[in-house]
Structure 1
Amino acid sequence: MYFIIQFLAQALLSVILVFIITILLIIWKYPIHWKYRIYKLGQDIPGPPSIPFIGNFIPFLGPLDHIWRIFRKLSLHYNGIFKVWTLNRFSVFISEPDYVEVLLSSAKNLRKSEAYDFLELWLGSGLLISDGDKWKSRRKLLTPAFHFNILKQFVTVFEEQSERTVQIIRKECDKPFTNVIPISTEHALGALCETTMGIKMNFDDNNSEFIKYKNAIYHFGEIFMERITKPIFYSQFLFELSSMGKITTKIITTLRNFTLNVIDERLNNWETRNQQMIKSASGKKLLPMMDILITEMKNGANIDYNGIVEEVDTFMFEGHDTTSMGISFMLMLLASEPEVQDKILEEQNSIFHGSTRMATYEELQNMEYLERVIKESLRLCPPVPVIGRRLEEDLQMGQYIIPKESYLYVSIYDLHHNPKYWDQPEKFDPDRFLPDNAAQRHPFAYVPFSAGSRNCIGQRFVMLEMKSFVSKVIREYILEPVDTLETIPLKVDLVMRPVNGVKVKFRRRK
């Protein structure tokens, strides 16, 4: 018995020692949030009760779906603004349009929050994470990649990819339900690679690099969220020593190999590709994203091979994971709205007269009702449910002052469900986005692509892709509900993600 007690005592002492060392490491690296000024100003901001030096994050401990539910409850309870202390980190979450406008309109508070630092292991300091002069130069460099003449060129790819996906769905019609996430992911990644990257993906080989890449992104997201919810792993030193850190290293190797293959294939075909560039009305060459990056590198601009890797990694992640989840949730929402499906089909028939031919750029642009449907889907299920900044200066939000150096997060999901600005916020109603209705609403009550200078550079790209996809699917299939927004459990992740997939039933139109 004596030896058992001694062993337990030593084990407890070791746990306490590790905890103390962890706290000291965190304080050493990030001492700023225990400044008296931050503490004093933070006192005025509402939030759950806090334990000195520990904070109020303990209720958040648990699985990722539990954390999702806690955030939703706090946002409603505290009327759009609340604070969270996590040891020495001070964060504020907002879902009130007036507060969101103050942050996203700021010309100075452009630096991303600490959570994005954990993505840097994979994405480097690409457009999503970088700030200052590097972000400005990369943003300026890449903006022409989404010129409308480039997007017009992409429509054929979108339509061919949509036709391919429609054929895949045809095999699903005899099943009681289909998890649409794998289908949406394959569709979005295929469209992204062929448009902005200029390569065709091989989806037929189950051992292909694509399958490995897709699985690696999913596992990276799981580890990313687990790290965020366990402050002990905020220390890079302790994270690298952990089993999670070692697994992450292997995952990043898989992700990076995929990216390098994409870039090298483009470089190998560069001379041929260089002859196919299109021009704008002014005579200036218009290039897809990959071509812009390579051209700038070859011309000696301020970007090298590693810089290209950063931006390709960033766009491969942002461009396909967010879009695939947006498509998946939209299919689920439409399945519960047969009248909306009928109205979409009516608009499609007015354009195609029953044909399943490809759409043109102009026809996609003219699908006004479908655009409202997509906007409403992105309101109810924003693929990116939260964005964060680290403040470079104090921000006044109503009666509160959010102190410099703290973290400020926009809860887009809660903003889009704020009952003060959205009547019956859980109801699917595309007419919310009729011009007259939209004009009466607060301009920052709806920000699925963020807003301000750091808004999503590819939002017009995404809208065209989603229009192409839904146009094809609705012309060929009736969607019937299995999962619904009320029944599907959600979890915090890199993007808004369900716990167990998104299930829909497909039935062919006669």
Structure 2
Amino acid sequence: MEIFQDISATALGSLTGIRMSKDEVICYSIIVFLVALWYRMLWHRRHFDKLTSKLSGPPSYPLIGSGLEFVGSPQQVMEKLIKMYETYGPEPFKIWLGMKFAVTVVKPEDLEIVLNGSKALAKDSLYQLFSQVIGEGLFSAPVEKWKKNHRIIRPVFNITLLSQFFSVFNEKDMILIRNLQRELDKDEPFDLWEYVASTTIATICHTAMGYDGDNQDKSGVDFVAALKTSFELNSMRIYKPWLYPNFIFNIYGKLTGIDKVYETLNKLPNKLIKQKKIEFAEKKKNKSSVVDITDNEKKRLQLFLDKLIELNEEGANLTDEEIRDEVVTMLVGGSETTTITNCFCLLMLAIHQDIQDKVYDEIYEVLGDGDQPIAIEDTSKLVYLEQCINETLRLYPVAPLLFRHLTDDIEITNCTLPKGSTMIISPLATHHLPELYPDSWSFNPDNFDPENVAKRHKFSYLAFGGGPRRCIGTKYALFSMHVFIATFLRNFSVHTTWKMSDIKLRLDLMIRSVNGYPVTIRPRDRRPTYKRN
């Protein structure tokens, strides 16, 4: 290296008549590199110049784009994001994510064009920043891989099979009720998160993976904690382009200890896959033991992970990494997302006691004062409860930002979005448009009564996405949340000293409450509070 620098300095000096020091050569080399990088960025941006002149948006700087707009803690990033939508929306506006050109689309009419078409099916390369966490499962997979895996997984979510999960929903939720007894009648509030998270991870492990661990199974709790931490650390990369290069982030990971977090994150998925492979191998050895099973029993065997292992044995040629990615995607979708929504929903009901009373009265009317398990047909009668769940997801959409890559130009209502750009879809922004939801930061379940829903554009509500890549587990999530909230309120009333203004939000890949979900609980007096009209 020193010889190279001496030669470079001598050569450059002979051309200029001036001999340069090694430090000067290095300095000028860096300058030349940065200038070349800047011109490369300008060349890359030339396709977008026509549109950028027409769109508003936050200021952008060389190389880092609008990254300075997002310097700060996850809470500050969320606050700046909300402010940005208030400042530049609801019309499309531009934002540079490093050297990536992105357009944010908020209006339902534009979202319908984008999400229902075939030109924005591809997830953006930004999701590769989370590859060590979620891999390339159904949520983040390239289009062709998504189409193939979607065909494989979709049958697992049919109503017949989902109805068989209700016994698990009821069982796991009742374990939660027993565990919560220790919090009864305490003056000091407790955080709902750990209780709810342990329940939802145990539920998805049982229903999708066939693993019947206890609600307090340490592997599940460790997975949830590692997932939360890894999302927090990886999400910073979206707004900090200087962390985009993997070699830089790997150094950052070693300094912050994130490598150990990944190891913990992978323990549960690897354990579930290994156990299922052993079970499948044993069944193959002893086929006679399953010859006479009934059709219903056959269906019960076709859980999510069963299906993946079976298809792989039949020639699907899924690698261990691909199976792991789909398992993690299912664990995240079935636990983390429902945990966040259940916690926010109970907190909303604790703040709004009158609404909690209405929900309980409906539960009492449908289920009575006994302890009979909740069945799938009961959920269709819990109409007001579903309105509360939907309103919670409107206020606090679990995935507040979605990123798509445009494979061709798309013409929306007032501009043409260019091929190669990143499309940012924000359920958080759309759900808080005052023209769609008056007083949009208030909790109002009447937003989802049938009459009000009929007045709005169908893409005014994006809690589960929209178009062909809409969440495949929507029905599973809603069923499990119906049972969870109903079971909780049958046994406890929930209370808090918080007001809506006390809730501070933070952002990673998902939306969260900065200071948790503090509540107190009291035994439920199993009588209706009043008759609903």
| TM-score, structure 1 as length reference | 0.90
Secondary structure at the counterpart of residue 510 of structure 2: coil
Cα displacement string for residues 32-89 of structure 1 (whole angstroms, at most 9, x for unaligned residues): 9833121332221111233455533322211111111111111112222322123312
Structure 1 residue aligned with 2:504: 489
Secondary structure at the counterpart of residue 342 of structure 2: helix
Does 2:356 correspond to 1:345? no
Instruction: State the distance in 2 between where 1:18 and 1:379 align.
Output: 52
Instruction: State the distance in 1 between where 2:294 and 2:489 align.
Output: 33
> How far apart are 1:359 and its partner, in Å?
1.0
Counterpart mapping for 1:319-468 below 5 A = 319-468=334-483
Change (3 A) 1:260 1:431: same
Counterpart mapping for 1:123-162 below 5 A = 123-162=134-173
Does 2:277 correspond to 1:267? yes
Instruction: State the distance in 2 between where 1:343 and 1:18 align.
Output: 70
Instruction: State the distance in 2 between where 1:154 and 1:418 align.
Output: 37
Counterpart of 2:193, as a letter, is I
Structure 2 residue aligned with 1:6: none
Structure 2 residue aligned with 1:94: 105
Change (3 A) 1:22 1:381: farther
Does 2:262 correspond to 1:252? yes
Cα displacement string for residues 389-431 of structure 1 (whole angstroms, at most 9, x for unaligned residues): 0111122232222221111111111111110111221222222
Instruction: State the distance in 2 between where 1:209 and 1:470 align.
Output: 25
Counterpart of 1:474, as a letter, is L
CA-atom RMSD, angstroms? 3.0
Maintained 8 Å contact 1:418/1:425: yes
The number of residue pairs the alignment matches comes to: 495
Counterpart of 2:415, as a letter, is Y
Does 2:193 correspond to 1:181? yes
> How far apart are 1:214 and its partner, in Å?
2.1
Change (3 A) 1:186 1:89: same
> How far apart are 1:369 and its partner, in Å?
1.7
Change (3 A) 1:66 1:232: same
Structure 2 residue aligned with 1:7: none
Counterpart of 1:168, as a letter, is N
Instruction: State the distance in 1 between where 2:379 and 2:32 align.
Output: 58
Rg larger in structure: 2
Cα displacement string for residues 141-172 of structure 1 (whole angstroms, at most 9, x for unaligned residues): 00011110111100000011111111222211
Change (3 A) 1:252 1:17: farther
Maintained 8 Å contact 1:127/1:311: yes
| TM-score, structure 2 as length reference | 0.86
Equivalent position to 1:67, from 77, 98, 115: 77
Maintained 8 Å contact 2:110/2:413: yes
Return 5+ residue gaps in structure 2 as ranges: 1-22, 526-533
Secondary structure at the counterpart of residue 453 of structure 1: coil
Instruction: State the distance in 2 between where 1:164 and 1:32 align.
Output: 59
Q: Percent identity at matched positions?
A: 28
Instruction: State the distance in 2 between where 1:255 and 1:278 align.
Output: 37
Instruction: State the distance in 2 between where 1:402 and 1:380 align.
Output: 28
Equivalent position to 2:55, from 45, 49, 53: 45
Cα displacement string for residues 276-331 of structure 1 (whole angstroms, at most 9, x for unaligned residues): 987479x9887221111011012122424332212101111222111110111111
Counterpart mapping for 1:281-300 below 5 A = 287-300=302-315
Structure 1 residue aligned with 2:484: 469
> How far apart are 1:243 and its partner, in Å?
4.0
Instruction: State the distance in 2 between where 1:19 and 1:501 align.
Output: 46
Structure 2 residue aligned with 1:3: none
Instruction: State the distance in 1 between where 2:293 and 2:67 align.
Output: 53
Maintained 8 Å contact 1:278/1:287: no
Maintained 8 Å contact 1:45/1:82: yes
Maintained 8 Å contact 1:124/1:310: yes
Maintained 8 Å contact 2:41/2:63: no
